[in-house]
C-alpha cells in the first residue's frame, strides 16, 4: 500500500513545485518584511527583496533551500554561540556505509529550533544524502510567515490543544505521514521522545509517542515490532554543555509553584525560541544510539501496553547512555548529592559554573523571587543527565 500525498496537504511541508510561490508569498508578507528590516534597516525593501530573489535562483526543493539559506545561518550560530558542535554516527555507518536507509531520529529535546537545525548541518557534513523533516507544534506558528517559512524548511505541522477525538485523527494522520515520508519520499525524520522539552533535563520517552508512530504503519497484520520497523528508529542523544533557556525554565517552575494555573503566553514561546538560538550553549554533541531494529524483536511476546512501556525504557537507556557529560553536570550533581565526581572537574571549572549560574539567576525578574528554589531547579537540570547516565553504566 502506498499513500497519496494529497492525504497530507493540511500538515505536510512544501513540495518542490510549491517552493517558488511560497518564497514570493513570504517576501510579500508585511510582518516578515518588518523582521527582515530589523536585520538591515538601512537597506531599502526593493533592493533587499531583489537580492533575496537573486539568491533564490536555482532553488527547487526544500533541501536546496536549507543548503542555500539555512545552512550558512546555522553554521554562523554554531560559530557565534557554541564552542563547537560534534556528531557521532559511527553506529549507522557501520551497518549502512552508503547511507541507503532513511531514519527516524528519536531524541531528547533541548531547543525548540536548534535541535533539528544542528542535526541537519551535521548530517550533510557527514555525507548523508538528505536532512530531516520535523514536526512543529501549531502553537508556535503564531504568524503566517512563520508557518510558511518552516514549511519551506521541511517541517510538518503537529496540532495542539485538540479534543480526544480530534487528537486521535490528528495522530493517525501524522503517523501515516511519517511512514510516507521515510518510505516513499525517502526523507529522514526528527521527532522528540516526548511532547515538549523536559524542563528538568530528565529525559524519558513517552509511550504515547511510540504508539503514535505505530498507528500509520501499512503492516496492518504484522506484529507491533513490524509496525515500527520500516521507520528505522534511531535513539539520538543531544548534549548541550549550557542551556541558555535554563533560567527561563527555572522561572516557569516557580511561576507554576506559586500559581498552579500559570500558563506561558505565545510571547513566552517566542522569547524561549530567541533565547535558545542566540544564547551561549558551550559544547554541543549528538550521539546516535543502536537502531531499535537490532533488538526490537526481543519485545514481541509482550502484551501491547507492556511492549510500548519496555520499548520506551530501552530507548531511554540508549539516550541516557549516549550523554556527553561536561564539568558543569558533575559539579551540579555534587552540589546536590555530595562530592562524588570531583575527578571530572577543576577549581577553574567550579568558578566558571558558579559565575554562569549567578549570571543566569540574575536574569530572572519575577515577584517574590525565590533564589534558593531557583538555584536548586537549575542545579537539578544540570545534575539529571549524570543521574540518568549512572543508572545505565553502573
CA distance 219 to 229: 10
Grade residue 202 by pLDDT with cuts at 50, 70 and 90.
confident
Find the mean pLDDT for residues 267-296: 92
Angle between helices 71-81 and 266-278 (to 10 degrees): 70
**pLDDT-above-90 percentage for the chain:** 82
Q: Are 308 and 217 members of one domain? A: yes
394, pLDDT greater than 80: no
Q: Are residues 130 and 28 in the same domain?
A: no
pLDDT bucket at 121, cuts 50 / 70 / 90: very high
- What's the total number of domains in the chain? 3
Say if 257 falls within a structural domain.
Answer: no
Same domain flag for 53 and 79: no
Return the pLDDT at 116. Answer: 94
Angstrom distance (rounded) from CA 4 to CA 340: 57
Domain of 32 in residue numbering reads as 17-60
Select the more confidently predicted residue: 283 or 38. Answer: 283
Residue that finishes a domain, picked among 324, 344, 377: 324
Asked whether residue 260 carries a pLDDT value surpassing 90, the answer given is: yes
Q: pLDDT value at position 222?
A: 85
* Cα distance between residue 180 and residue 258, in whole Å: 45
pLDDT beyond 70 at 1? no
What pLDDT is attached to residue 35?
Answer: 87
Question: Span 190-214, mean pLDDT?
Answer: 89
181 and 85 within one domain: yes
114 and 173 part of one domain: yes
232 and 183 together in one domain: yes
Classified as helix, coil or strand, 170 is: helix
Question: pLDDT tens digits, residue range 45-59?
Answer: 999 999 999 999 999
Same domain, residue pair 345 and 234: no
227 in any annotated domain: yes
The reply to whether 136 falls in a domain is yes
Q: Which residues contact 283 (CB under 8 A, 6 or more apart)?
A: 82, 83, 84, 85, 86, 239, 240, 241, 324, 326
| CA distances in angstroms from 112 to 15, 108, 264, 273, 282, listed in the order given | 23, 11, 15, 6, 17
Clarify whether residues 49 and 159 are in a common domain.
Answer: no
Same domain for 139 and 34, yes or no, is no
> pLDDT tier at 198 (50, 70, 90 boundaries)?
confident
Amino acid at each position: 500500500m502506498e499513500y497519496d500525498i494529497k492525504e497530507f496537504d493540511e500538515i505536510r511541508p512544501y513540495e518542490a513545485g510549491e517552493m517558488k510561490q511560497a518564497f514570493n508569498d513570504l517576501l510579500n508578507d508585511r510582518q516578515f518584511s518588518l523582521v527582515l528590516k530589523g536585520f538591515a534597516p538601512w537597506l531599502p525593501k526593493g533592493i533587499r527583496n531583489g537580492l533575496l530573489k537573486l539568491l533564490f535562483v536555482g532553488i527547487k526543493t526544500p533541501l536546496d533551500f536549507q543548503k542555500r539559506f539555512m545552512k550558512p545561518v546555522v553554521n554562523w550560530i554554531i560559530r557565534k554561540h557554541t564552542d563547537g558542535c560534534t556528531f557521532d554516527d559511527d553506529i549507522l555507518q557501520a551497518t549502512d556505509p552508503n547511507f541507503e536507509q532513511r531514519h527516524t531520529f528519536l531524541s531528547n529535546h533541548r531547543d525548540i529550533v536548534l535541535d533539528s537545525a544542528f542535526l541537519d548541518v551535521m548530517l550533510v557534513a557527514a555525507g548523508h544524502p538528505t536532512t530531516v523533516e520535523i514536526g512543529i507544534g501549531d502553537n508556535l506558528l503564531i504568524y503566517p510567515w512563520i508557518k510558511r517559512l518552516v514549511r519551506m524548511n521541511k517541517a510538518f505541522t503537529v496540532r495542539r490543544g485538540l479534543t480526544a477525538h480530534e487528537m486521535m485523527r490528528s495522530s493517525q494522520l501524522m503517523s501515516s505521514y511519517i511512514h510516507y515520508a521515510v518510505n516513499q519520499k525517502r526523507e529522514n525524520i526528527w521527532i522528540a521522545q516526548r511532547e515538549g522539552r523536559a524542563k528538568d533535563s530528565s529525559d524519558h520517552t513517552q509511550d504515547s509517542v511510540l504508539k503514535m508512530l505505530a498507528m500509520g504503519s501499512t503492516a496492518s497484520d504484522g506484529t507491533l515490532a513490524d509496525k515500527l520497523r520500516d521507520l528505522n528508529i534511531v535513539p539520538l542523544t543531544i548534549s548541550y554543555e549550557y542551556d541558555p533557556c535554563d533560567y527561563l525554565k527555572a522561572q516557569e517552575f516557580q511561576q507554576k509553584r506559586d500559581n498552579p494555573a500559570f500558563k506561558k503566553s505565545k510571547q513566552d514561546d517566542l522569547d524561549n525560541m530567541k533565547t535558545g538560538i542566540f544564547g551561549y550553549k558551550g559544547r554541543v554533541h549528538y550521539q546516535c544510539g543502536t537502531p531499535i531494529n537490532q533488538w526490537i524483536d526481543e519485545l514481541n511476546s509482550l502484551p501491547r501496553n507492556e511492549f510500548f512501556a519496555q520499548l520506551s525504557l530501552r530507548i531511554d537507556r540508549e539516550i541516557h547512555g549516549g550523554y556527553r557529560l561536561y564539568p558543569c553536570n558533575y559539579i551540579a550533581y555534587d552540589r546536590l548529592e555530595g562530592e562524588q565526581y570531583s575527578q571530572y572537574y577543576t577549581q577553574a571549572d567550579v568558578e566558571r559554573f558558579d559565575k554562569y549560574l549567578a549570571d543566569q539567576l540574575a536574569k530572572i525578574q519575577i515577584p517574590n523571587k525565590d533564589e534558593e528554589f531557583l538555584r536548586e531547579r537549575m542545579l537539578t537540570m544540570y545534575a539529571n543527565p549524570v543521574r540518568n547516565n549512572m543508572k545505565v553504566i553502573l
